[in-house]
Chain A
Amino acid sequence: MAVKLSPDRTLFVATVCLVSFGLVMLYSASAVVAHDAHRSSHFFLVKQSMWACVGLLLMLALTRFDYRTLKHPVVIYGLLAAVVVLLVGVLFTPPLKNAHRWIRVGLLSFQPSELAKLTLVIALAYELDRRFERLNEFVSGWLPSLLTTGFLAFLVLIEPDYSTSFILVFISACLFFAAGVPVQKLAWLAAVSGPVLFWLVLSEDYRRERLLIFLDPFRDPLGKGFQIIQSLIAVGSGGLFGAGYMRSQQKLFYLPEPHSDFIFAVIGEELGLIGALGVVAAFCVLLWRGLVIASRATDRFGSLVATGLTMLLVGQALINIGVTLGMLPTTGLTLPFISSGGTSLVTSMIAVGLLLSVSQHAR
Chain B
Amino acid sequence: MNENRTLTPFQMRLLFLGLLTSICVVLVGGRLFYLMVTMRETLQERAVLQHQHTLKLEARRGTILDRNGRQLATSVEVESVYAVPKAFKGALVTDASLQLSTCLSLPLSRISARLEGDRSFVWLERKAKPRVVRCIRDLNLAGIGFLNESRRYYPKRSLAAHILGYVGLDNTGMSGVEYALEDEIRGEPGRRIIWTDARNRRAASRVDAKPRPGRAAFLTIDENLQHIAESELEQAIRESHSKSGIAIIMRPETGELLAIASFPSFNPNRYGDYPEGHWRNRAVTDVYEPGSTFKFVAAAAALQEGVTTEDERIDCGRGMIRVGGSIIRDSHAFDVLTFREVVEQSSNVGMIRIGQRLGKERFEKYIRAFGFGETTGIELPAESRGILRPSKTWGPVTLAAISFGQEIGVTPLQMVTATNVIAAGGYLMRPHLLLGLGGADGSLETPVSPEPVRRVIDTETARRLTDLLVGVVERGTGQRAKLPSYVVAGKTGTAQKAVRGGYSKTDYIASFVGFAPAGRPALTALVILDSPEGDHSGSRAAGVFARIMRRALRYLAVPPSDEAPIRIAKVWPQMRPILGGTAQGPARNARNLRQQTVFEAWTPKDPLSDAAGGAPDVIGLSARDGLVRFVARGIVPEILGQGFVLEQVPRAGHALEPGTRARLVLSPVPVGPGMPGLQWEDGVTVATFSYDGDRMGLGRAGSARRGSPVQRNEITD
Instruction: Report A's interface with B, CB cutoff 8 A.
Output: 32, 174, 177-178, 180, 229, 232-240, 249-250, 252-254, 268, 272-273, 276-277, 280, 283-284, 287-288, 291, 294-296, 300, 303, 307, 311, 314-315, 318, 321-322, 325-327
Minimal beta-carbon separation of A177 from chain B (angstroms): 6
Contacting residues, chain A, for B209 (C-beta < 8 A): none
- A32: which B residues are within 8 A, CB to CB? 197
Shortest B147–chain A CB gap in Å is: 23
Q: Which residues of A contact B1 (CB under 8 A)?
A: 295-296
A selection of 14 A-B contacts at a CB cut-off of 8 Å is A233-B50, A235-B36, A236-B40, A236-B42, A249-B203, A250-B47, A268-B36, A276-B32, A277-B32, A295-B14, A307-B14, A311-B21, A321-B28, A322-B31
Cα A180 to Cα B14 with chains together (Å) = 10
A312 to chain B, nearest CB (A): 12
Interface size class of B (residues with CB under 8 A): 35 or more
Whole-angstrom distance between the Cβ of A241 and the nearest chain B Cβ: 10
Picked from A249, A303, A315, the residue with its CB within 8 Å of the CB of B47 is A249
**One of A238, A322, A327 near B36 (C-beta < 8 A):** A238
Stretch at the interface among B5-13, B342-350, B583-591, B680-688: B5-13
Determine whether the beta carbon of B42 is less than 8 Å from that of A177. Answer: no
Are A178 and B10 neighbours in the complex by a CB distance under 8 Å?
Answer: yes
Minimum CB–CB distance from B682 to chain A (whole Å) comes to 76
Q: Which residues of A contact B76 (CB under 8 A)?
A: none
A273 touches B32 (CB 8 A): yes
Instruction: Give the contacting residue for B32; candidates A254, A280, A307, A315; CB below 8 A.
Output: A280
> Which 9 A-B pairs rank lowest in CB-CB distance, beginning with the nearest?
A236-B43, A252-B197, A253-B198, A237-B47, A254-B198, A237-B44, A273-B36, A236-B35, A325-B31
For residue A237, which residues in chain B have a CB less than 8 angstroms away from its CB? Answer: 40, 43-44, 46-47
B28 near A236 with CB under 8 A, answer no
Q: B687 to chain A: closest CB distance in Å?
A: 69
Q: Once the chains are docked, how many angstroms separate the CA of A311 from the CA of B24?
A: 12
Residues from chain A with Cβ under 8 Å of B18 in the complex: 287-288, 291
CB neighbours of B195 from chain A (8 A)? 249
A287 CB contact (under 8 Å) in B21, B31, B39: B21
Q: Which residue of B lies closest to A314 (CB)?
A: B21
CA distance A297 to B150 in the complex (A): 79
Choice from A177, A232, A254, A283 contacting B17 with Cβ under 8 Å = A177
Tell me, in angstroms, the Cα distance from A254 to B40 when the chains sit together. Answer: 18
Which residues from A are CB-within-8-Å of B15?
A: 291
Contact of B28 among A177, A303, A327 (CB under 8 A): A327
Q: Establish whether residues B36 and A239, one from each chain, have CB atoms under 8 Å apart when the complex forms.
A: yes
Residue B51 at the A interface, CB < 8 A?
Answer: yes
B336 to chain A, nearest CB (A): 94
- Given A174-B17, A178-B17, A307-B14, the answer on whether A233 and B28 have CB atoms closer than 8 Å is no
The answer to whether B17 and A318 have CB atoms under 8 Å apart is no
Residues on A with C-beta less than 8 A from B28 are 280, 318, 321-322, 325, 327
A295 touches B10 (CB 8 A): yes
Q: How far is the CA of A6 from the CA of B51 in the complex (A)?
A: 52
Cβ proximity bits B687-704 to A, threshold 8 Å, 1 near / 0 not: 000000000000000000
Report the separation of the CA atoms of residues A272 and B40 in the bound assembly, to the nearest whole angstrom. Answer: 11
Residue B29 contacts which of A233, A250, A280 (CB distance < 8 angstroms)? A280
Flag if A252 contacts B29 (CB, 8 Å).
no
Other than A232-B35, A253-B199, A273-B32, give 7 A-B pairs with Cβ distance below 8 A: A178-B10, A233-B50, A249-B203, A268-B36, A273-B33, A280-B29, A318-B28
Interface string of B438-450 (1 = CB under 8 A from A): 0000000000000
Which of A252, A287, A295, A300 makes the CB contact (< 8 A) with B11? A295
| Cβ-defined contact, B36 with A236, below 8 A | yes
Chain B residues in 8 Å Cβ range of A177: 13, 16-17
The distance in angstroms between the C-alpha atoms of A284 and B306, with both chains bound, is 110
Contacts of A276 in B (CB 8 A): 32, 36
A303 CA to B8 CA, complexed, in Å: 13
B27 within 8 A of partner (CB): yes
Interface pair B10/A233, CB less than 8 Å apart = no
Contact status A240-B37, CB under 8 Å: yes
Q: Which residues B240-299 have CB closer than 8 A to chain A?
A: none
> Known: A236-B40, A239-B44, A252-B203. Contact between A178 and B32, CB under 8 A?
no
B43 CB contact (under 8 Å) in A233, A280, A283? A233
Residues of B within 8 A of A273 (CB): 32-33, 36-37
Interface presence of B25 (CB below 8 A): yes
Closest to B33 in A: A273
A232 touches B43 (CB 8 A): yes
Q: Which residues of A contact B14 (CB under 8 A)?
A: 178, 291, 294-295, 307
Q: Which residues of B contact A315 (CB under 8 A)?
A: 21
Nearest-Cβ distance from residue A358 to partner chain B, whole angstroms: 13
Closest to B1 in A: A295
**Distance in angstroms between the alpha carbons of A294 and B12 in the assembled complex:** 12
A294 cross-chain contacts in B, Cβ below 8 A = 14
CA distance A89 to B28 in the complex (A): 38
In the complex, are the beta carbons of A325 and B32 less than 8 A apart? yes
Q: Which residues of B contact A295 (CB under 8 A)?
A: 1, 10-11, 14
Minimum CB–CB distance from A149 to chain B (whole Å) comes to 17
Complex: A311 Cα to B21 Cα, angstroms: 9
Task: With both chains docked as a complex, state the minimum distance between the C-beta of A223 and any C-beta of chain B, in angstroms.
Answer: 15
Q: Which residues of A contact B16 (CB under 8 A)?
A: 177
A276 nearest in chain B by CB position:
B32
User: Which of B13, B27, B39 is A180 in contact with, Cβ under 8 Å?
Assistant: B13
**A166: min CB distance to chain B, Å:** 15
Given contacts A239-B36, A287-B18, A295-B1, contact A178 B24 (CB under 8 A): no
A327 touches B33 (CB 8 A): no
Q: Which of chain B's residues 30-71 have a Cβ closer than 8 Å to chain A?
A: 31-33, 35-37, 39-40, 42-44, 46-47, 50-51
B197 touches A233 (CB 8 A): no
Minimum CB–CB distance from B258 to chain A (whole Å) comes to 60
B residues near A280, Cβ cutoff 8 Å: 25, 28-29, 32
CA A314 – CA B19 in complex, angstroms?
13
Cα A273 to Cα B33 in complex, Å, equals 7
Contacts of A174 in B (CB 8 A): 17
On chain A, the residues within 8 Å of B9 by CB distance are 180
The chain B residue with its CB closest to the CB of A229 is B46
Docked Cα-Cα span, A238 to B36, in Å, equals 6
Query: Of all chain A residues, which has the CB nearest B8?
Result: A295
Distance of A80 Cα from B197 Cα, bound (Å): 46
A300 to B14, CA, bound (A): 13
Q: What residues of chain A lie closer than 8 Å to B31, measured between beta carbons?
A: 322, 325-327
Q: Which of B11, B13, B37, B46 contacts A233 (CB 8 A)?
A: B46
Alpha-carbon gap, A219 to B31, bound state (A): 20
Instruction: Say how far A317's CB is from chain B's closest CB, in angstroms.
Output: 9
Residue among A253, A276, A288, A295 facing the most chain B CB atoms (10 A cut-off)? A295
**Chain A nearest Cβ from B48, distance in angstroms:** 8
Chain A residues whose CB sits within 8 angstroms of the CB of B39 once the complex forms:
232, 236
A168 to chain B, nearest CB (A): 17
Residues of B within 8 A of A291 (CB): 14-15, 17-18
| Shortest Cβ distance from A294 into B: residue | B14
Q: A239-B44, A295-B1, A325-B31 are in contact. Are A249 and B36 (CB under 8 A)?
A: no
Tell me, rounded to whole Å, the shortest Cβ–Cβ distance linking B574 to chain A: 58
Contact present for A235 and B32 (CB under 8 Å): yes
Nearest chain B CB to A316's CB is how many angstroms away?
12
Q: A235-B35, A252-B203, A311-B17 are in contact. Are A318 and B25 (CB under 8 A)?
A: yes
Q: How far is the CB of A299 from chain B (nearest CB, A)?
A: 11
Instruction: Point out the residues of chain A lying under 8 angstroms from B35, CB to CB.
Output: 232, 235-236, 268, 325
> B44: which A residues are within 8 A, CB to CB?
236-237, 239
Alpha-carbon gap, A270 to B17, bound state (A):
32
CB distance from B575 to the nearest CB of A (A): 54
- Given A240-B36, A303-B10, A252 and B198 contact (CB-CB distance below 8 Å): yes
Q: Is the CB of A253 within 8 A of B10?
A: no
